[in-house]
Structure formats: structure tokens, C-alpha cells
Chains A and B, each alone.
Chain A
Amino acid sequence: MTRLLSRFSKRALVIAQIVIVFAIAITIALIPTIDERSFNLQRIAFFVLWYAILASSWNIIGGYAGQISFGHAAFLGLGAYVTGILWSELHWSPLVSLPIAGAIAAAYGVIVGIPTLRLRGPYFAIATIGVGEATRLFFVNFDDIFGVTLTRGVTGLSLSPGREEMFDPVNVLRLTAVVFVVVMLATMWIRAGRFGLGLFAINMDRDAAETAGVPTARLQVLALAVSAFFAASAGSLYAARQQFLDPASMFGFDKSIALVLMPVVGGIGTVWGPVFGAILYSTVQDQITSIVRNPYLPALIYGLLLIVIVIFEPLGIAGLLGRSTKYVRMLVLPRDGEP
């Protein structure tokens, strides 16, 4: 009986998760239809989904493969700028440039990953600090270096939209919901399949994984490329919604912190952890700026939160929820004992 239940529940669990993903996306996509004037709610909904996409993309390399990236804002900013430049130079719709931006960021991820992920130890984490900083500087000085006018340096890049439909915030929100579904299904699929199994094996014991025939370096580079692709698509969505890009907001330290923080606080290496983290982060971020004047308080709180979580509950919010009941545990922590 119990065996029957467990076999049944495994499939039911997958279906339940897919249903939840679609339910979230459809509910949010319908917000503008239900109430056309709910601009504030639409903005919040956009950023929850947007941060969830970013956090989930970070989780693929940081959570599944266990390679922490401290410079993931590089991929986010790259995606945003590719979309921005393709619009302002060639008038390509963000709908078209989103996959292009993703592909370019993925290629960048491969270039960064091949030298750094091949090695053991903390090389990747160290290199990402450099990647983030160097990419920011590159985009600040891009016009100077090449003698062109593309990124417009620190002044920022404005995407004056004209009458392009894809810049309507409602359409952007719907597109974001679609990307959210794609990202969630992708992370669930990776987690359940051979690819994810390989990544977890590397995360637990690289030598053992190598011995068992897991192509460790190749899988990790692939994970980084997938992660960069999704982070860059979030960048494209941001460019389409805000219609203004500058290096400080796209490549900034605060973005890279947020990208580490959300999955870790939510539950590193779990499917739903990044989503929990994104909900928490975007609400805190939204409220805190209106309550406290000091701009440094959030980072202080996040730092303390990070320490507390690492010491006391390494699986974050997902771990805390998993303690409540068996069914919640099955939903948020599909497999026992893994990160």
C-alpha cells in the first residue's frame, strides 16, 4: 500500500508542481485583464516573476552544480544591453532579441566557464567576481574603446519605443509569465533528469562523479550556459519594461548580491527555493525603501540573514517549510538528503 502510494505520488508530485507553475503564471498574466488600472500590483507582479527567473537561473549553476557565481549580474546586464542595442540600432523587437541575447550570454558563459570550471577548488567563484567587475567596466568604457556610440557609457541607454507593441508593460508582463514557466519547467526537468543528477553528483563528490563516468567539466559549463541564457532573458525583459539601461543598475553589486541571496535564502538547490527567495526579496525591497531612509540597511539585514541561514538552516525557507508537514516536504524538497 505504501509502495503504491509512493509510486503514485511521485508522478502526482510532478504534475502538482507543473500545475502550480502554470497557475502562478496564468494568475499573474490575468492581473491586467481583471483590473486594468492595477499598475502598482502589475509592477510588483513583474518584479516577483523577474526575480524568480533570475534566482532560478542562478540556482542551476550555484545550487545544482555547487559553483557559486558572485558576478551573475554580468549575464543579466549583457542580455539587457543586447536587447537595448538591437532595438536602438536596428529596431528589432525584444521578442526577437530575447533569444539572441540569451544565446550571446550563453556563449559568454561558455567562454568564462571553460578555463574556470575545468579546475577544482574555488577558481570559478573567484573568477566570477572578476567577470562581474570586468563586464561592468567593459560596458562603461565600450564606446571609448571602440570609438562608437552603442552603450553610451555611464549616461545609459534609452530605448525610445515609438509605437512598438512589445514595450507595452502588459505585454511584457505576459511575456515574463511565459519565460517564468519555461524557466521553472527547465529547472524541474534538469533537477529530475540525468543532467541534474550529474550536476548533483559533481556537487557532492567530483572525484566519485568523474570515476562514475560523469563528464564533470562539460556538464558544469553546460549548466553555466543554461543559467546565463535565462539570466540574459530576464535582462531582455527588464530592458523592454523599463526602456532605460545603465551600467550601474544592470551590472551593479546589488544585483549580484540579490542573485546569490534569493536562492540561498529560499533554499539552495531546490526547485522552489529561488521562487520563495524572490517573493521575499522583492517584497522586502519594495517595502524597505519606503520605510527606512538609510540605503545600507537592506544589505546589512541580508548579510545577517545569509549567516544565520548558512549556520542554522542551509535549505532556507524551503527547509523551514519542509519541516511543517510531510506533504509540503514532498512538494518543496523532492528528494531527501540532497542540497
Chain B
Amino acid sequence: MRLIEALISALMVAGLYATMSYGLALIYGVMKIINLANAGSMMLASFATFFLWQTFGLDPLAAVLIVAPLFFVVGAVIEAFLVRRVVNEKPVISLLLLFGVLLVMQAGASFFLGGDVRSVRPVYIQEVVHFGDVTLAYNRIFVFLAGLIILVALELFLRNTFLGRAIRALAQDRDACRLAGIDVRRVSMIAFGLGTALAGAAGALLTAVFPFDPSNPYGVLQLKSFTIIVLGGLESIPGVAAAAFVLAAAENLTVTLSKPQLENLVSFLLLVVVLVVMPGGLAALIRRRRIA
């Protein structure tokens, strides 16, 4: 019974994990750049949500609708002024640049806003619902549903709109896109903005479940989202969603069956195992099955 409860609770957290990783996968797909500033945008979005809640009493879930567009602009600006200059350089350069951006975000937040741990406490934070023997907190259900809606909307956007198709085309072949008349610079900017907006949405959702502080970007969450995209196969959105669940389940089972301190080791061990056993991630595994 504890096992089932752990798995369901993992599914709920997976909504958050997936949301924070889509942006990373999207930006990597289009620009072949690892957005190290991803978790930094997420942390700043958590702060924005916190202030919206504190000032206007706005619910974190509703705040997504304000914070995500805001961070679309942030991402587009970062792309236009910084990332665009290094996109054709060696990968080292973009990693260092975005590491600098992460440092500025993190140290800037600590410097101007203080290093305290903050938490948003919406009215339903204590409420739970019972399904038979399984007890679930409302905020986790809401976050899961929000993550699910974002997944579906993102897939629909990428499959059915011109812009979405252009983004997917760009992920496949940059030069062919240029030949086909796609404005590569503009679409890159939009993709980076969209990726950052997704990080922003994740940051807003995060506040409904976890307390946060400016130092969280580097360590744990960053590592988790990287593990997820490597496991998901770096570019596939459904792969990311599946990987988010795998990681959340592995973590929850570790906490349930073993020591809670080991929770954060799980994501690292999973990362190494995936790199050794199946470098292409889940997506490559599924593809291989299909061919065979």
C-alpha cells in the first residue's frame, strides 16, 4: 500500500519536474545549447509569484498566467542580447555564458532580496483528499493537472501551428530551415523565450508545493532537470514527461524504502546509469523497439 501511495505521489511531483524540464529540452532541441540559466529563471519566477501572492493575494496557479508571459520576454531578451552572439561558437562558450547568467540571477536575487527561505501558503495548502487508502494533498493534485495541461498545450502547439512546426524543423536541420525560408533568428528567439516561459511556469508551480530560496538553482533542481532531459532523450517532449515520472518515482521509492538523505543522490546515480546503459534516453529506447 505504501508503494502505491509513493507512486501516486510521485506522479503528482512529476508534473512539476516535467514542467521545469520542457524548456531545457526545447532550447536544446532548437539551439543545441544547454540552458544553464534554466533553474535561475525558475527561481526568479518563484520570487515573482511570491510577490504577486504577498501583494495581491494571487494564487500561485493563477500567477502562472502572468509569470509565464513575463519570462517569455526575459528569455527573448537574454537570447537577443547574449545567446545569439555565441550560438555558432563552440559549446564551451555558451555553457560559460549561461553559467554567468545563472550566477548573476542567483547572486542578484540573494543580494537584492535576501537569502531567506520563502514559502507561499495558499488556502488549500493543508487540505487533503482521500481516495480509498491513498491520501493526496490538493496542492499536489493542482500542480500535476497544471503540468498535464502544459504538456498537452505544448504538444498541440508544436504539432499544429506554423511556429511550432518551425521550431521542430529547426531542431532537425538549421540549414534546411534557412533554405525553406524560415526566419531562423526570430524562431530561435521565440524558442528561447518559450523555454524560459516554461521555466517560469515551473517556478510559479513550485511555490505551491515547496518552499524556495535563491540558492536552490545550482544544486538539486538543476541536476534533476538535467537528469530528466538526458533520460528523456534531450529533445523529445513526451520523453521528458515520462522521464520526469521515472525520476520522481525513483526518488519517492528511495525515501519510502531507504534513507531520506539519499533522495538527491538518486538523480545523480540515475544520470550516470542512463549515460552508461542508454545514452539516447527513453526516446531512443522506444525508437529502437519500434524499428526492431
Q: Which residues of chain A are within 8 angstroms of B215 by Cβ–Cβ distance?
A: 253
B261 close to A306 (CB less than 8 A): no
The number of residues on chain B lying at the interface, defined by a beta carbon within 8 Å of a beta carbon of chain A, is 48
Any chain B CB within 8 A of the CB of A180?
Answer: no
B101 close to A303 (CB less than 8 A): yes
Bound-complex Cα distance A297 to B223 (A): 25
Q: Which of B84-92, B131-139, B155-163, B184-192 contacts A (4 or more CB under 8 A)?
A: B84-92
Bound-complex Cα distance A264 to B82 (A): 17
With A123-B230, A306-B99 in contact, is A297–B111 under 8 Å at CB? yes
B91 close to A121 (CB less than 8 A): yes
Separation in Å of the B283 CB from the closest CB of chain A? Answer: 15
Minimum CB distance partner of B90 in chain A: A66
How many A-B contacts are there with CB distance less than 8 Å?
A: 128
Separation in Å of the A338 CB from the closest CB of chain B? Answer: 12
Separation in Å of the B95 CB from the closest CB of chain A? Answer: 5
Q: Which residues of chain A are within 8 angstroms of B218 by Cβ–Cβ distance?
A: 129, 253
Separation in Å of the A108 CB from the closest CB of chain B? Answer: 13
Any chain B CB within 8 A of the CB of A141?
Answer: yes
Question: Which of the four size classes fits the interface of chain A?
Answer: 35 or more
Give B115-130 interface residues, CB cut-off 8 Å to A.
Answer: 115
B contact face: mostly helix, strand, loop, or mixed: helix
Minimum CB distance partner of B101 in chain A: A307
Minimum CB distance partner of A68 in chain B: B95
Any chain A CB within 8 A of the CB of B93?
Answer: yes
Separation in Å of the A251 CB from the closest CB of chain B? Answer: 11
A133 close to B86 (CB less than 8 A): no
Q: Mark A109-136, 1 if CB is under 8 A from B, else 0.
A: 0000001100101110111011101100
B271 close to A130 (CB less than 8 A): yes
Any chain A CB within 8 A of the CB of B292?
Answer: no
B92 close to A138 (CB less than 8 A): no
A130 close to B101 (CB less than 8 A): no
Give A249-300 interface residues, CB cut-off 8 Å to B.
Answer: 253, 257, 260, 264, 268, 294, 296-300
Q: Which residues of chain A are within 8 angstroms of B102 by Cβ–Cβ distance?
A: 303
Any chain A CB within 8 A of the CB of B104?
Answer: yes
Q: Which residues of chain A are within 8 angstroms of B62 by Cβ–Cβ distance?
A: none
